[in-house]
């Protein structure tokens, strides 16, 4: 089954509101926002990471910000959080970097979402491939991931 089909099946199972936006292939968030004609701060970076104990975690931050790994570690109650390689991120999430959605991953991960994203009713994330974005209600991203809201970007 294609990655896009896995994501679409997950969306059907949950029954949440969503909208796909087709675009040219991109990897980086800034390129994706530009290709889709969206404001960068509304397109999220979905950063697959690991704690010092090897636990996979997902960090969701605005596209125009950088992650604060020490703040993420504090919010998770661990000593350290580090980003993983593109290859490991894909193995954990089931999606390629540049296409990683905020929900519906192959591996269930504890999730942190940056507090600044709560000001938006909807946010955009990878749509399961590098050729599309997915718009979701911010509250659904938090609920489906049981996400921790924290200040993790600068």
Q: Which of 129, 120, 130, 2 is nearest to 61 (CA)?
A: 120
Q: Which of 51, 57, 46, 49 is nearest to 96 (CA)?
A: 46
Q: How many domains does the chain have?
A: 1
pTM of the complete model: 0.95
CA dist 138 and 59 (Å) reads 14
Residues 72-94 pLDDT 10s: 999 999 999 999 999 999 999 99
Does pLDDT of 5 surpass 90? no
C-alpha torsion sign, points 51, 43, 100, 107: positive
Does pLDDT of 36 surpass 60? yes
Kind of pairing, strands 56-62 and 44-51? antiparallel
Quote the mean pLDDT of the chain.
Answer: 95
Residues 6+ apart with CB under 8 A from 10: 103, 104
CA dist 6 and 95 (Å) reads 10
CATH number of the domain enclosing 143: 3.90.960.10
What average pLDDT does range 112-133 have in this prediction? 96
Does pLDDT of 3 surpass 70? no
The structure tokens listed for 136 are: 């979701």
Does pLDDT of 1 surpass 60? no
What domain range includes position 90?
Answer: 3-150
| pLDDT score recorded for residue 27 | 87
Does pLDDT of 41 surpass 60? yes
């Amino acid at each position: 089954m294609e990655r896009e089909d896995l994501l679409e099946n997950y969306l059907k199972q949950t029954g949440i509101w969503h909208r796909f936006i087709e675009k040219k292939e991109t990897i980086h968030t800034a390129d994706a926002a530009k290709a889709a004609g969206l404001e960068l701060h509304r397109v999220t970076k979905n950063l697959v990471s690991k704690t010092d104990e090897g636990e996979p975690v997902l960090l969701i931050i605005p596209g125009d910000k950088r992650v604060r790994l020490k703040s993420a570690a504090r919010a998770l109650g661990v000593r350290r959080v580090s980003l993983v390689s593109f290859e490991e991120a894909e193995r954990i999430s089931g999606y390629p970097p540049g296409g990683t959605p905020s929900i519906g991953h192959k591996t269930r991960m504890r999730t942190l979402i940056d507090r600044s994203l709560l000001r938006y009713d909807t946010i955009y994330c990878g749509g399961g491939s590098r050729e599309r974005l997915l718009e979701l209600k911010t509250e659904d991203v938090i609920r489906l991931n049981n996400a921790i809201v924290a200040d993790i970007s600068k």
